[in-house]
């Protein structure tokens, strides 16, 4: 469980291959009572396993989910997504900032979110790191896929904002 404001980061080496969906994300603690997307979701890093040149970050909530206006694709030099990178998110009452290797790559302001729906990022969140296989995000693995596949996590760090 993560506090309602602060920073969380993880040093991750992504899995490669079509059909793999490595992700580092957060889901509102109240998912069981209000459902998705009302609980809020922060996608710190999502990657199509078949794409070695980019990853995305997104903000989902009531009125701005799925094909949300708050998705940003971060491009890398070819093949560099196979290296370790530090993916991070910081948020407070004014907005949400996404980082790769300590460089800000995307900011979503609270006022922009509230043009679409409620700001739901003033609560605790579950932190999730997972490697999904198949589905509609990167399709199913091809017959030449190599398993087992691994998303390597070196560390996860959580910093709570004082106040």
DSSP β-bridge partners for residue 82: none
Give catalytic residue positions: 41, 46
Residue pair 90/9 in contact by the 8 Å Cβ criterion: no
The torsion region of residue 87 among left (phi > 0), alpha (psi -120 to 50) and beta comes to beta
Tokens of 80: 């560099």
């Amino acid at each position: 469980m993560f506090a309602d404001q602060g920073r969380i980061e993880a040093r991750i080496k992504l899995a490669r291959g079509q059909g793999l969906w490595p992700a580092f994300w957060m889901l509102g603690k109240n998912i069981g009572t209000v459902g998705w997307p009302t609980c809020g979701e922060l996608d710190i890093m999502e990657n199509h396993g078949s794409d070695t040149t980019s990853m995305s970050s997104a903000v989902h909530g009531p009125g701005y989910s799925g094909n949300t206006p708050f998705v940003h694709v971060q491009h890398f030099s070819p093949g560099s997504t196979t290296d370790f990178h530090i993916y991070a998110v910081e948020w407070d009452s004014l907005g949400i900032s996404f980082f790769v290797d300590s460089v800000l790559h995307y900011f979503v302001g609270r006022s922009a979110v509230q043009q679409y729906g409620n700001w739901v990022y003033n609560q605790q969140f579950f932190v999730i790191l997972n490697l999904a296989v198949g589905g509609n995000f990167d399709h199913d693995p091809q017959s030449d896929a190599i398993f087992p596949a691994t998303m390597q996590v070196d560390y996860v760090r959580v910093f709570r904002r004082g106040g």
